[in-house]
Amino acid sequence: MKKRIVALLMCTAMVTSMIVGCGSGSSDSSSDASSSDDSAATTEDSGEAKDISDCTFAIVPKSAGNPFNEAEAKGFQEAIEAAGAECIVSYPEQATADAQITVLQSLISQGVDSISVAANDENALQATLQQAMDAGIKVSCFDSKTNADSRQVFVNQADTELIGQTLMDAVYDITGGEGQWAILSATSQAANQNAWIEAMQNVMEGDEKYANLELVDIVYGDDEPQPSTEQTQALLQNYPDLKLICAPTTVGINAAAKVLQDQNSDVKITGLGMPSEMEAYVGEDNVCPYFYLWNPIDLGELAAYTAMALVSGDITGAAGDTFDAGDMENSPYTVVDASDGGTEIILGEPFEFNPDNIAEWADVF
Amino acid sequence: MAGKSGREISITSNKSALSRVLSWEGALVLIFIAVNILGVILSENYTAANVLRQMPRYLAEIFILFPMGYILILADIDISVGSIVCLSATMACFAGNAGLPFPVVILVCLLVGLICGAINGAILAKFTELPSMIVTLATQIIFRGIAEMSMGSGGTVSYTNSADLIPLTTMVGPFPISFFGVVIAAVIFIVVLSKTTFGRKLYAIGSNKTAAYYAGIKVEKIRFIVFSLAGLMSGFCALVLLSVLFSANTTTGQGFEMEVIAMAVFGGIATTGGKGNLVGGFIAAFIIVCLRVALGLINMNTQLILVIIGLMLIIAVLMPGISQRIKTMKKMAKQS
């Protein structure tokens, strides 16, 4: 009998510790009391113009612990809070669609006004996001899109074709227009990665100029350093004549650059990367002559302005809508038709980071 | 039978009302109530409607909990169930996209699961010297590998005829329809375990396999059946998951095996075999689900939620040892 009483005591202790845990945990999110008040307001006056400062905006990035995602979330949060509104940053526990659904369902229960999501899977979020839209929540995507039915508008970091063209030009330039090259991607189902790779392949097939370039393999490093490193090593081993690896992912390019530098390899790397992580590898005689990216802080900021424009009723997500995005470079932005049948807003051209400007940008992000 | 643990098994039925309340299952009910009170305190959005609406994704997992309980009682383990879910869901998507009528799709989904489970069971029954952990580790990789290969480079396949899946998402009152599926499965599995000779054989094998063999129990046949059952229930899980995801991808069902084992262990089922029952596991499952929903509603860092659940698990498995130690200390004090 005693041991059962002990068991009960332990349970009480457990519950207490849970409450303590919650107390410390809730500090990293915004207060929830006000958000639920908002939800009541939302249902009452949906359709009318709303005061942004009474609304709650949620952002669901792809995963926690990725500096690029964190920079996006930072840009989003700053823009929302500058407008006096509530911001919730909800990272999923894993970089999977399953984990994002859990987080999204919770946000629907909280009755937020807007959800901005960087989808880990193009189709898997459809049922959940439609549920959100049915509940009167404005749904937009950024960074990595969902299918057209699950969103009102997509904030695209750069035109897919433009990225494909830019990266292919880089591949052509660095290899001198001939030889073997390979692609190191993130996960095999990442929608944005696949779209860029497809765009690159289209560019390559569409022009005789690229005929001497041979794409030998596309490997997937799952956007994690260890698998990306292993995949790079495997590429070097399997293709001794390899001239270049193109990694359109920030984690991949960083891991690959480290492998190439460690092995003193002649193989070059380019792609999309974070300046702060790539600073050590960029240079004329170094493994990475130059690489590209857009500013993730700007992307988050534009996602925030888009979400606010949707909630205030300035735009509906239809092509042709325009809205002001504060002091952003290309403001005002226009909603245009996307290739998948939905609509999108394009941030701008990819930005080239080279030995001349890397030091300056490495401090920024 | 093997009741030395603090977490009593309820096979022994001569219990008073008080001792029932104070058993591990009783404690779990109290924790369940506590978690719900906590939820209501933490967030005013913690309402029955919201919790039940968020539930289907978790309900899918609970389908696997029951056969996993059986397997753990057998002193075995099956870590391939997550991959079976992935493969079943993938094949169901392909079947649906090929234009097969929905009942056939359901059949495909369940059959793929059953076959995968039977493969596990057959290997384990044929080569008794192999540990189930290693065999299912291998099939875990194989099943997911097959799913990934059939999905091709995109790594995702969506169920295009989504109208088919709508009946699975209907709500009966506030309850999602899969909730009733889980309850029915729970009743069947609990009754079979506690009221039939088949259930008693599971405990006998888990307690002492050799003794059970010499007592005339067909150990390998039962292991085959139980592992096949785990495959079949993974098929059910895949079906419910499809109604949430409307698609399958390479990460579908990833980590389900560990989450389900966590629920079972928290519910008092010992991985060493022969101990525990599914009632505890069932309640424990809902404790974990409600806790996750509640903590999610206050936007707690998802990693921190995992840490809390991990801590709860450690405390739960330590508890019998601690109470045992206190008991012996008490005895020593009495003797001196």
Q: What is the domain-level CATH number for residue A315?
A: 3.40.50.2300
Distance from the A15 Cα atom to the nearest Cα atom in chain B, whole angstroms: 7
Q: Are residues A240 and A277 in the same domain?
A: yes
Residue ranges of domains in chain B: 17-331
**Domain boundary, last residue among A245, A278, A293:** A293
Report the candidate in A230, A280, A276, A232 with the shortest Cα–Cα distance to residue A250. Answer: A276
Query: How many C-beta atoms surround the C-beta of residue A56 within 10 A?
Result: 27
Claim to verify: residue A281 and residue A177 sit in the same structural domain: yes
Q: Which residues from chain B sit within 8 angstroms of residue A103, using beta carbons?
A: 296, 302
Task: Kindly state whether residues A60 and A145 are assigned to the same domain.
Answer: yes
Q: Using the 3D structure, point to which of A275, A293, A311 is the last residue of a domain.
A: A293
Under an 8 A CB cutoff, do B23 and A121 touch? no
A26 and B250 within 8 Å at the Cβ level: the answer is no
| Residue A164 and residue A153 share a domain | no
Residues of chain B with Cβ-Cβ distance to A145 below 8 Å are none
Same domain, A169 and A256: yes
CATH architecture, domain defined by B17-331 = Orthogonal Bundle (1.10)
- Interchain contact, B302 vs A64, CB within 8 Å: yes
The answer to the question of residue A29 being in a domain is: no
For residues A115 and A231, membership in a common domain is answered with no
User: Which residue is it, tokens 């079947």?
Assistant: B95
Q: Do B246 and A28 touch (CB under 8 A)?
A: no
Single-letter amino acid, residue B28? L
Per-residue model confidence (pLDDT) at position A351: 84
Give me the pLDDT at residue A43, please.
40
Q: Is residue A253 part of a domain?
A: yes
How far A31 CA sits from the closest chain B CA (Å)?
Answer: 8
- With CB atoms and an 8 Å threshold, state whether B251 touches A189: yes
How much is the pTM? 0.73
Interface mutation vs chain A, best among B251, B256, B314, most A CBs within 10 Å: B251
Q: Which domain holds residue A100?
A: 48-157+296-350
The alpha helices in chain A, defined as continuous H runs, are: 2-25, 32-44, 67-82, 97-110, 126-134, 160-175, 191-206, 225-238, 250-262, 275-278, 296-312, 358-362
In this prediction, residues A58-75 reach a mean pLDDT of 88
Same domain, A190 and A66: no
Number of domains in chain A: 2
Say if residues B51 and B293 touch (Cβ distance below 8 Å).
yes
Please tell me whether residues A106 and A204 are part of one structural domain: no
**In this predicted model, what pLDDT tens digit does every residue of A167-183 receive, in sequence order?**
999 999 999 989 999 99
Instruction: Clarify whether residues A186 and A130 are in a common domain.
Output: no
pLDDT grade for A310, boundaries at 50, 70 and 90: very high
Distance to chain B for A119, nearest Cα, Å: 13
Q: Over the stretch A143-169, which tens digit does the pLDDT of each residue have? A: 888 888 889 999 988 888 889 999 999
Please tell me whether residues A130 and A148 are part of one structural domain. Answer: yes
**Minimal Cα distance from B37: which residue of A?**
A15
Same-domain check for residues A102 and A209 = no
Quote the minimal CA–CA distance from B96 to chain A in Å: 15
- Band of the pLDDT at A324, cuts 50, 70, 90? confident
pLDDT in tens, A93-104: 888 888 899 899
The verdict on residue A226 lying in a domain is yes
Q: Within chain B, which residues score under 50 in pLDDT? A: 1-6, 9-12
CB contact under 8 A, A93 and B293: no
Assess whether A61 and A171 both reside in one domain: no
* A22: in domain: no
Structure tokens at B55: 């539930």
Element (H, E) at B141: helix B132-151
Residue A5 included in any domain: no
**Helix, strand, coil percent values for chain B (each to nearest 5):** 75, 5, 25
A59 Cβ neighbours under 8 A, 6+ residues apart: A72, A73, A76, A77, A87, A88, A89, A90, A115, A116, A117, A300, A303, A304
Look at residue A12 in the predicted model and tell me its pLDDT: 52
> Nearest residue on chain B to A30, judged by CA atoms?
B299
Q: What kind and span of H or E run contains A356? A: none
Where do we find the tokens 């002001």?
A: A324
Which of B138, B20, B126, B9 is closest to B73 using CA atoms? B9
Contact B297 A110 (CB under 8 A): yes
Which residues in chain A have Cβ-Cβ distances shorter than 8 Å to B30?
A: 8, 11
To the nearest whole Å, the CA of A33 is away from the closest chain B CA by 8
A6 and B250 in contact by Cβ < 8 A?
A: no
pLDDT tens-digit profile of A18-53?
A: 444 443 333 333 333 333 344 433 343 444 456 788
